[in-house]
């Protein structure tokens, strides 16, 4: 049995029982704004080959997911090439010249397709992402910020005839973005079709479907994302804003300049990590991707925090956890001491560490004889020697200014200190 699917869901402004009239064909056309036929001749391995090519514009396509309706949004429209192909393949029409077929006998439903929102790259200066943004507004009536249109993949849509590419995107929308009913231009008569993921999966199961491959790929991507269950997550971050770890001898800003001294996390650095923790909370607790189901308050069995054994990273981790959990859903006397001296609803989160010289995960300068050996070999390479020689006048000038013997591997420390100071 062959399962044949053409989605006709929802109310329709397209009259599927409608019939065309005055159909004719011009088979002498040599080019159009959309397709230009050319004939390529070449020799390969001594053999002369002729290949007919249709020069076609690339296109941009997006899968649309409505987060409030929890449904994919497609467009349904009449496609004359599909109509002509399907009608001409009917038993009574096989072998007939196109102009001898009585086209007015066949309903336009034979040419109605279900597709993703898409458009040709026919506007110089606009990126595929910008084309998609315009098509979403024109076809379905949603004004979507450009950053919400996420790139998925670029693939060939025709290898034997046109060689054109299709740029596929994924876009999430909601009703706050809706500014019109869409519908396309005057010639398109586009209808919106909302399908939940179970309905959309029927497209994948059908043996034949009146939809292009880009739609099938997009539905598969959405299905995989929807059915995935997140069971383990690792988040890695660096410390926040800090004071310099050291500086050159002539720098007027020595260690006494900096509150708490060298390499310490600043108040800004703490604030940065509270904000990062709040962002992670929104993403992994509030939004709950993949049914992770993290508790809104600290639970020892759910989270493990590790930091390198340096003040700035330890305090960054603590600050991050303040943002991640905050004071939500906590109980005095259970999650924190019930005493007036305790800072309001603060729940300490354990931050684990290992001795810094032996931290092979968080410390890039941990004890590693092999690393040291390779570093010395790098300094002996022609590339290193040439770069040093080319920049020696600059190194000499910096040495005079800083009071250091400036070399290629020390110049980064100068930059780091100056960057923080300014």
Structural contact between residues 312 and 242, judged by C-beta atoms closer than 8 angstroms: yes
Structural contact between residues 239 and 317, judged by C-beta atoms closer than 8 angstroms: no
**Pairwise CA distance, residues 268 & 2, whole Å:** 64
* pLDDT for residue 184 is more than 80: no
- How big is the chain by its Cα radius of gyration, in Å? 32
pLDDT (tens digit per residue) in 370-405: 989 999 999 999 999 999 999 999 999 999 999 999
Residue 357 dihedral angles phi and psi, to the nearest 5°: -60, -20
Task: Give domain 4-227's CATH number out of 3.20.20.70, 3.40.50.1010, 3.90.79.10, 3.40.50.20.
Answer: 3.90.79.10
Chain mean pLDDT for the chain: 89
* Average pLDDT of span 254-281: 96
**Pairwise CA distance, residues 263 & 353, whole Å:** 18
* pLDDT for residue 259 is more than 90: yes
Length of the chain: 422
pLDDT at 226: 62
pLDDT at 348: 92
Task: Give how far the C-alpha of residue 369 lies from the chain's centroid of Cα atoms, to the nearest Å.
Answer: 40
pLDDT (tens digit per residue) in 236-248: 999 999 999 999 9
pLDDT at 11: 37
In this prediction, residue 422 has a pLDDT band, given cuts at 50, 70 and 90, of: confident
Q: Which residue has the tokens 């458009």?
A: 119
Q: Which residue has the tokens 């300049």?
A: 257
* pLDDT for residue 155 is more than 60: yes
pLDDT at 87: 96
% of the chain at pLDDT higher than 70: 94
pLDDT at 290: 66
* pLDDT for residue 29 is more than 50: yes
* pLDDT for residue 271 is more than 90: yes
pLDDT (tens digit per residue) in 284-305: 888 887 677 888 999 999 999 9
pLDDT at 179: 95
Based on DSSP, count helices (H) and strands (E) in the chain, helices before strands: 10, 13
Please state, in angstroms and as integers, the Cα–Cα distance from residue 250 to each residue in 176, 246, 370, following that order: 57, 12, 35
Q: Which residue has the tokens 């109310």?
A: 11
Closest by CA to 356, choosing from 321, 315, 320, 313, is 313
In this prediction, residue 6 has a pLDDT band, given cuts at 50, 70 and 90, of: low
Domain spans of the chain?
Answer: 4-227
pLDDT (tens digit per residue) in 126-153: 999 999 999 999 999 999 999 999 999 9
Report the predicted TM-score, pTM, of the whole model to 2 decimal places. Answer: 0.59
Structural contact between residues 64 and 171, judged by C-beta atoms closer than 8 angstroms: yes
**Pairwise CA distance, residues 74 & 115, whole Å:** 6
Structural contact between residues 218 and 153, judged by C-beta atoms closer than 8 angstroms: no
DSSP code per residue over 276-311: HHHHHHIIIIIS-GGG----SS--TTT--EE--SSH
pLDDT at 360: 87
* pLDDT for residue 72 is more than 70: yes
pLDDT (tens digit per residue) in 211-232: 998 888 888 877 666 666 778 8
pLDDT at 169: 94
């Amino acid at each position: 049995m062959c399962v044949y699917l053409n989605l006709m869901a929802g109310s329709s402004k397209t009259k599927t029982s409608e019939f065309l009239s005055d159909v004719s064909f011009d088979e002498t056309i040599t080019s159009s704004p959309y397709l230009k036929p050319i004939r390529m001749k070449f020799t390969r391995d001594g053999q002369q080959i002729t290949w007919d090519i249709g020069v076609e514009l690339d296109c941009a396509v997006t899968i649309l997911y409505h987060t409030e309706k929890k449904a994919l949004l497609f467009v349904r429209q009449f496609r004359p090439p599909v109509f002509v192909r399907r009608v001409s393949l009917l038993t009574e029409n096989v072998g007939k010249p196109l102009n001898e077929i009585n086209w007015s006998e066949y309903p336009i439903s034979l040419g109605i397709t279900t597709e993703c929102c898409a458009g040709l790259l026919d506007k110089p200066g606009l990126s595929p992402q910008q084309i998609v943004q315009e098509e979403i507004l024109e076809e379905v009536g949603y004004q979507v910020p450009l950053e919400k249109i996420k790139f998925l993949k670029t693939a060939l849509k025709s290898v034997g005839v046109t060689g054109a590419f299709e740029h596929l995107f994924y876009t999430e929308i909601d009703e706050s973005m809706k500014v019109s009913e869409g519908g396309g231009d005057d010639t398109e008569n586009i209808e919106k079709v909302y399908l939940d993921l179970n309905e959309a999966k029927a497209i994948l199961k059908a043996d034949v479907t009146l939809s292009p491959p880009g739609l099938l790929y997009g539905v598969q991507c959405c299905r995989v994302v929807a059915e995935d269950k997140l069971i383990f997550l690792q988040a890695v971050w660096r410390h926040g804003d800090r004071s310099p770890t050291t500086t050159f001898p002539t720098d007027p800003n020595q260690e006494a300049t900096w509150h708490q001294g060298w390499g310490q996390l600043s108040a800004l650095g703490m604030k940065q990590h509270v904000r990062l923790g709040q962002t992670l909370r929104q993403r992994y607790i509030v939004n709950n991707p993949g049914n992770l189901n993290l508790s809104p308050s600290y639970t020892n069995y759910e989270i493990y925090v590790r930091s390198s054994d340096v003040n700035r990273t330890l305090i960054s981790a603590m600050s991050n956890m303040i943002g991640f959990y905050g004071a939500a859903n906590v109980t005095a006397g259970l999650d924190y001491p019930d005493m007036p001296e305790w800072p309001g609803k603060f729940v300490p989160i354990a931050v684990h560490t290992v001795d810094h010289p032996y931290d092979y995960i968080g410390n890039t300068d941990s004890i590693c004889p092999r690393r040291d050996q390779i570093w010395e070999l790098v300094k002996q390479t022609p590339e290193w020697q040439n770069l040093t020689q080319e920049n020696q006048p600059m190194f000499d000038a910096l040495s005079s200014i800083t009071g250091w013997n400036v070399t290629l591997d020390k110049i980064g420390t100068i930059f780091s200190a100056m960057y923080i100071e300014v």
